[in-house]
Chain A
Amino acid sequence: MQALYAQLLVGLINGSFYALLSLGLAVIFGMLNIINFAHGALYMMGAFCAYFLLNLVGLNYWWALLIAPILVGIFGMILERTMLQWLTGLDHLYGLLLTFGIALIVQGVFQNYFGSSGLPYAIPDQLKGGINLGFMFLPIYRAWVVIFSLVICVATWFLIEKTRLGAYLRAATENPTLVRAFGVNVPRMITLTYGLGVGLAALAGVLSAPINQVRPLMGADLIIVVFAVVVIGGMGSIMGSIITGFALGVIEGLTKYFYPEASNTVVFVLMVLVLLVKPTGLTGRAA
C-alpha cells in the first residue's frame, strides 16, 4: 500500500509536465487553430536556454525560469510572424506539416552540435535534498515541480477564461472581423498568444532540465504522449488538458508499478478507447 502512494505521487510529478505541455498546445490550438508539432522542439530549446544561461552567461536556474520562456517565446513569435500566419484559414494539415518540419530542423541542428546523450544541468542548491514522507523519499525538486506547474496551469486558465484579455482572445477566435471592428489588433494578439503557448513549453523545458538530460531529442520523445493527452482531454479545452495531463501521469505511474512493460503504451491505449467512445475528447465539444 505504501508503495502505491509513492507511485501515485511520482505519477503526479510526471503529470505536471504533461499538463504544462498540453496546456500550451491547447492554448495554441484553441486560439490559433494550429496543431503545434514544434512544441517538443521548443520545450527542448527552453532546457538548452537554461543550460546556456548557466554556462555561458552565469545566470542561475531562477533567472532561467524567467528568461528562457521569454527568449524562446520571442523565437516562437518570429516563427508565427514569418511562417505560421500565412496558414490562417487553411486546413489543419498545413500547420501540422509546417511545425513538424520546423521541429525536425531545430532538433537536427541541436543534435549536430551537441550529440544525442545530452548535457548535465544540476538541481539548484535551494531545492537539493529531499523529505522523508514515511512511504517514500520525496526529492524537494520534484515537489517544487508539481506545485509550480499547478500554479502556472491555474494562472493560465484564469487568464484565458476569466479576464477581459482572455475574453478578447476567445472572441477573436470566434469572429476575428467583428473583434477587429472594435479596434482590437487581432493579428498582434494571435502572435502574443502563440508566444505565450511557446513560453509555456520553454518553461516546462527549464523545469525538466535538472531531472532529465538536456538532450536534443528530449521533446521528441515526450511530444507524442502529450498529443495523446490533448486528444484525450479534448482539443483546445484548457481545463480539460490540465486535468488529463495530471490524470494520465498518475495512470502511467500505476502502470509502471503493475505492468512496467506496458508503461509507454498505456496512454495510447486510453487514447484509442476515448476516441471510440467520445471522439471529441473527454471535455471537448462537438465541432
Chain B
Amino acid sequence: MKTKSIASFLLGTALAVTTAGVAFAQDKTVKIGALSDQSGLYADLGGPGSTVAAQMAVEDSGLAAKGWKIDIISGDHQNKPDIGTAIARQWFDVDKVDIIVDVPNSGVALAVNNVVKEKNGVYINSGAATSDLTNAQCSPNTVHWTYDTYMLAHTTGQALVKAGGDTWFFLTADYAFGAALERDTTAVITANGGKVVGGVKHPLNTPDFSSFLLQAQASKAKIIGLANAGGDTTNSIKQAAEFGIVKGGQKLAALLLFLTDVKAIGLETAQGLNFTETFYWDMNDQTRAFSKKFSEKMKNGAMPTMVQAGVYAGVRHYLKTLDALGGNPHDGVKVVEKMKSLPTEDELFGKGEIQPNGRTIHNAYLFEVKKPSESKGPWDFYKLVGTVPGDQAFTPLSESKCALLKK
C-alpha cells in the first residue's frame, strides 16, 4: 500500500507540475494522512480501521469520477507526541499532505493540533477525547468530530450522579486525556451535588490494576470512575470483577468505552455497563450497510468503532466541502471555514453542524451492554437506553473559552 501510494503520489506530483500553470483554483489533487496508534492499546479503536474508513469515504464520495485525484497515507504515532509531530511535519513539508485525520491519544492530538495550525493544514480529529481541542486550545484549522470529554461527563457521568452515585473515586490515565476527563466529570459531579473522595493516576498502558482497585475499594465511594481508555479500561473492568468490586456494591463508571473494548472484555463480564457513544453499527439500515462493508475489509472482521465512523464521516464532509469549492485551495483555514458553513449530514451520524470553535454537534446515545443471553451475534453488544440531542451533549458556545469565538 505504501509503495502504491508513493507511486500514485509521484504521478500526482507529475500531474500537478504539468497542470500547475493552467489553473490554480482547479487543482483537484488531495492528500489525506491518517495518523493513529497502529499497534498499541488504541490500535483497535482507531488504527488500521481508521485508514480503511478514510478509504471508504474517498470511494463513496464519488469525486474520482469528477476528475479528483485523492491519495491516502497512514502513519503510526506510537502514542508519543514527539513521533506524532515529527510525522505531521514530514507529511506537510515533504509529502504535501492537505489533511490529517483520526489521531487518538489526547497528548499526541494536542501536539499535532499546533503543527497543523502552523502549517495551515486541515485537522479532523476523531480519536482523541480532550475537550481542549475545541476549547482553550481551539484552532481555525481543527474540526473535532466524534466525541469529547465534556460530552462523556455530561452524559454517562451526569446520568450516574442523578441516579444516586454521589461519591466518586477516579482511576485516571496519567496524561492529557485522563486529566481532561477527570476534570470535566468532576465539574459535573460537584454541580449535581456529588463529591469526589479520591483518585489514583496510573501510567498509560498498565497491565495490572489490582493495587489501584484495592484503593478504590477502600475509599468506599459509590462510583469508581474509569477515566482511561482502550486496554486500560478493559483491564480495569475485568480485574474489578475479579476483586468482587461490583458485587460489593460499588458501581463502575466506564466513562469511555468502545465497541472493541466490549468485545475484548466479553459480555459475561461487561454486561450491564452503561456508557455513551455517538455511533453504533446496529442503529439503522444505513449504519448496518456501512459496517458490513467495513467489516469485510478488516482482517479480523471487526465492526467499526465510533472513532472509525467519525473518520469516515469527517472525510466525507471534507471532500463534500472541496467539491463545493470547486478545487483544492490548499489553504486549511479557508477549507475549515467552508466546512463550518455547510451543515453536516451523513449515513452514520445523521444531521449536524460544525460550531465556530470546531466542535461537530450530533446526537449522543446512552447504551447498556447486553447480557450474553440477549446477544444474537458476534458483535451484537449494545441496547439503546437513551438519546441525548447534540446541543445538550456538547459544550454550549457560551461556556467555551475558544479564542475564535471572540471576534
On A, residues with C-beta under 8 Å from B are 3, 6-7, 10-11, 13-14, 111-120, 122-123, 130, 136-137, 139, 141-142, 211-213, 215, 217-218, 221-222, 253, 256-257, 260-261, 263-264
Contact = CB atoms under 8 A, between A and B. Distances in A.
B286 interface: no
Nearest to A111: B39
B208 A14 contact: yes
B235 A213 contact: yes
A123 B242 contact: yes
B217 interface: yes
Interface string B191-217: 000000000111101111011101101
A58 B248 CA distance: 33
B242 A3 contact: no
B211 A117 contact: no
Given A14-B208, A139-B242, A253-B211, A117 B203 contact: no
Contacts of B40: 116, 217
A213 B206 CA distance: 12
A142 B47 contact: no
Contacts of A118: 231, 234, 264
B175 to A, nearest CB: 11
Contacts of A13: 210
B268 A117 contact: no
Contacts of A218: 207
Contacts of A141: 242
Given A116-B40, A116-B41, A139-B244, A256 B299 contact: no
Contacts of B260: 115, 117
A115 B300 contact: yes
B217 A222 contact: no
Nearest first, the 9 A-B pairs at minimum CB distance are A120-B266, A256-B211, A117-B264, A116-B43, A117-B44, A264-B203, A115-B44, A10-B210, A139-B242
B75 interface: no
Interface in B251-285: 260-261, 263-266, 268-269
Interface in B229-252: 230-231, 234-235, 238-239, 242-244, 248
Given A117-B45, A260-B211, 9 more contacts: A10-B214, A113-B300, A117-B260, A119-B264, A123-B242, A130-B242, A215-B231, A253-B211, A260-B200
Contacts of A119: 264
Q: Which of A117, A137, A257 has the most CB of B within 10 A?
A: A117
B297 to A, nearest CB: 14
B302 interface: yes
A122 B266 contact: yes
B201 A213 contact: no
**Size band of the interface chain B makes with A:** 35 or more
B211 A10 contact: yes
Contacts of B261: 117
A114 B300 contact: yes
Contacts of A222: 207
11 contacts: A3-B218, A10-B210, A115-B302, A118-B234, A119-B264, A130-B244, A217-B40, A221-B205, A256-B212, A260-B200, A260-B211
B44 A116 contact: yes
Contacts of A221: 205, 207
Contacts of A111: 39, 43
A113 B269 CA distance: 24
A257 B201 CA distance: 11
B166 interface: no
B243 A130 contact: yes
Given A111-B39, A130-B244, A261-B174, A117 B212 contact: no
Contacts of B206: 263-264
A261 B206 CA distance: 11
B299 to A, nearest CB: 6
Contact of A7 (B208, B214, B264): B214
B379 to A, nearest CB: 13
B195 to A, nearest CB: 21
B343 to A, nearest CB: 35
A114 B239 CA distance: 22
Contacts of A215: 231
Contacts of A213: 231, 234-235, 238, 264
A13 B268 CA distance: 24
A122 B231 CA distance: 17
Contact of B211 (A114, A212, A257): A257
A130 B40 CA distance: 32
A26 to B, nearest CB: 22
Contacts of B263: 117
Contact of A260 (B201, B238, B265): B201
B235 to A, nearest CB: 7
Contacts of A136: 214
A215 B230 CA distance: 12
A211 B239 contact: yes
Contact of A137 (B212, B244, B302): B244
Contacts of A139: 242-244
